[in-house]
Amino acid sequence: MEEIIRRLEKLVKEREWEKYHTPKNLAMSIAIEAAELMEHFQWNEEDFPDVRKNVEKRREVEEELADVMIYCLLFFYYLGSDVKVAIMDKIQQNEKKYPYLGKKQNIYKKEGNSNMS
């Protein structure tokens, strides 16, 4: 992760892109890249095995995901916040919000909800 961030920092600094990277603009960028990812699944019901088999589509999807993540990593960089800590905290929140009650009593089967936010 650290290596990725250092390389991103170099890319941005050399090209003097910091001035465009306001919180508003980066948030828009994340949303725009997320929409480009959605486009790949707008009119079909493909599942993950379908996408894995389709070499070209899989590569395109990986690129859209990488775009989203790059802008997220830049956002964390400008915030001066630790990505890993933030993600682990959020996972922990979800573990508590939806406690695992063992296989028998697992209530999540019926709920139709897997919203982690």
Query: Looking only at residues 80 through 99 of this chain, which bind a second copy when binding is defined by CB under 8 A?
Result: 80-81, 83-84, 86-91, 94-95, 98
Using CB under 8 A, which of 53, 55, 60, 63 touches a second copy? 63
Which of 60, 74, 62 shows the shortest CA–CA distance to 27?
74
Shortest Cβ 79–a second copy spacing (Å): 6
Rounded Cα distance between 76 and 24, Å, is: 14
Using CB under 8 A, which of 48, 55, 56, 104 touches a second copy? 48
Count residues binding a second copy (CB under 8 A): 81
Rounded Cα distance between 66 and 63, Å, is: 5
SS3 85: helix
Using CB under 8 A, which of 56, 75, 104, 105 touches a second copy? 75
Which of 30, 5, 27, 9 shows the shortest CA–CA distance to 18?
9
Shortest Cβ 56–a second copy spacing (Å): 13
- Of the pair 56, 83, the CB lying nearest a second copy is at 83
Only one residue has tokens 């695992």, namely 100
